Amino acid sequence: MGGRNPFAASRKRAPAPGNPFAPAEAAGNKYGAKKTTCAAGHLHDSKAEARRCNELHLLQRGGAIVGLEQQPEFKFTVDGRPVMLDNGQQARLRADFAYVENGRKVVEDRKGVIVRDFPLRWALARTLWPEIDWRVV
């Protein structure tokens, strides 16, 4: 069985009126998130993420945090061996932000909707790097 539900709404928009041969446009994010640029010029996956980036830049300018990073990536390794996916890529977690607050590294992810394998990846990251303060905001 499996596959796509034939009764589900299409995620493609119809061609523009008057031109039935024009390619259909993508409908955008499944959950309604709109890519947004923050004040620092970074492109983010949602308005909420861009707002959080603005907040973090203000905190950094005020000296409350240092070393702000965008999209830090953590590749999973267990017992010295990389955790490999069926497609040949190493399993990883890409968070939204990382920074140092009060001498401790903080990694955070802004989530509107928690989907797919995020809880498993987040739990694995917290286990592999217990010295990091992991936050979902």
Supply the DSSP string of 63-90, one letter for each residue.
TSEEEEEES-EEE-EETTEE-B-TTSPB
- Provide the residue range defining the domain that includes 129: 36-136
Predicted confidence (pLDDT) per residue in 13-39, tens digit: 555 566 666 655 555 566 666 777 777
State pTM to two decimals: 0.72
Q: Which long-range contacts (CB under 8 A, 24 or more apart) does 24-28 make?
A: none
Looking up residue 80, the CATH number of its domain turns out to be 3.40.1350
Q: How many domains in the chain?
A: 1
Q: What is the pLDDT of residue 110?
A: 84
Give a yes or no: residue 14 inside a domain: no
Task: Give domain status of residue 29, yes or no.
Answer: no
pLDDT, tens digit (0-9, with 9 covering 90-100), for 53-96: 899 999 999 999 999 999 999 999 999 999 999 999 999 999 99
2-40: burial string, b at 16+ Cβ within 10 Å, e else: eeeeeeeeeeeeeeeeeeeeeeeeeeeeeeebeebebee
Considering the domain boundaries, does residue 21 fall inside one? no
